[in-house]
Amino acid sequence: MTLRSPLMTVMTGAAQKAARALKRDFGEVEQLQVSRKGPSDFVSAADLRAERTLRQELTKARPKFGFLLEEGGEIKGEDPRHRWIIDPIDGTTNFLHGIPHFAISIGLEMDGEIIAGLVFNPVTDEMFVAEKGKGAFLNDHRLRVSARTDLTDAVIATGIPHHGRGEHGPYLKVLGRVMAAVAGIRRMGTASLDLAYVAAGRCDGYWETGLQPWDMAAGLILVREAGGFVTEVDGGKTPLASGSVLATNAKLHKGLQGILNQD
């Protein structure tokens, strides 16, 4: 996709501007002593700066669109049909610990449907983009989900419940079933990049529950435009609303869904 649409030009420009400050912030946070107060406050400030930049740049180009922001909440726009769904730092815990696996995530929703998405890792300079009906791309190279047909050959990404979140016991039972069926499990800590990696064929599938819209908005359209199949973990059709997502290629979806939903 050497010629970007006007919409994608707006999105990539906003992400690149926010990324410049984030890269500087990431270089500083790596030097901080990890504690509960200082680094957390620092990362919150980095989140807010990035979100402010994204909002300003997108508003310049599309002044009537609304926003759903991780930090700033919902902001109604004059245009009720369109809103940006933004996570300025998806993978905050990775960012806090100096792990270079985090992303800016921007999705555009029209009439309740995601029509464009961008996931950008500023450290690796990998920018995943997609528009409805136009395919998914990584730095201008077309993406396709993997062609694997057997779960025993598949690498599956997931999110794992942690302190203060999720029911650990039930999750471990599900994880045990998946571990026995696949070639490998990956827990990388950034939902938007997990979905982007499925779109790129780096992972063969991904599941998680308890997500927020900004965690997955951009990633959902990436997977779909790369030829993948996305539902809720139980097969429902509204992952953005439910926070439950299962993304794979079409061949692996039914088998993985069956394993995840065994009693």
pLDDT of residue 42: 58
Given the residues 51, 57, 87, 109, the one annotated as active site: 87
Give pLDDT tens digits for 73-97.
Answer: 999 999 999 999 999 999 988 988 8
87 is catalytic: yes
Q: What is the CATH number of domain 151-260?
A: 3.40.190.80
156 is catalytic: no
Give pLDDT tens digits for 4-16.
Answer: 799 999 999 999 9
pLDDT confidence band for 167 (50 / 70 / 90): confident
47 is catalytic: no
- Nearest in space to 214 (alpha carbons), one of 243, 188, 238, 236: 243
Amino acid at 6: P
CB neighbours of residue 33 within 10 Å: 6
> What's the whole-model pTM score?
0.94
pLDDT of residue 6: 94
90 is catalytic: yes
Mean pLDDT, rounded, for 156-176:
89
Given the residues 51, 70, 109, 204, the one annotated as active site: 70
Tokens matching residue 100: 């270079």
Given the residues 51, 85, 86, 89, the one annotated as active site: 89
Give pLDDT tens digits for 200-216.
Answer: 999 999 999 999 999 99
What is the residue-averaged pLDDT of the chain? 92
pLDDT confidence band for 29 (50 / 70 / 90): confident
Percent residues over pLDDT 90 in the chain: 81
**Domain boundaries, given as residue ranges, for the chain:** 6-142, 151-260
pLDDT of residue 1: 43
Given the residues 47, 215, 225, 232, the one annotated as active site: 215
* DSSP string computed for the chain: --S--HHHHHHHHHHHHHHHHHHHHHHHHTTSPP-SSHHHHHHHHHHHHHHHHHHHHHHHHSTT-EEEETTTEEE--S-TTEEEEEEEEE-HHHHHTT-S--EEEEEEEETTEEEEEEEEETTTTEEEEEETTTEEEETTEE--------GGG-EEEE----TTSS-HHHHHHHHHHHHHHSSEEE--S-HHHHHHHHHTTSSSEEEESS--HHHHHHHHHHHHHTT-EEE-TTS-S-HHHHS-EEEE-HHHHHHHHHHHT--
93 is catalytic: no
Q: What is the CATH number of domain 6-142?
A: 3.30.540.10
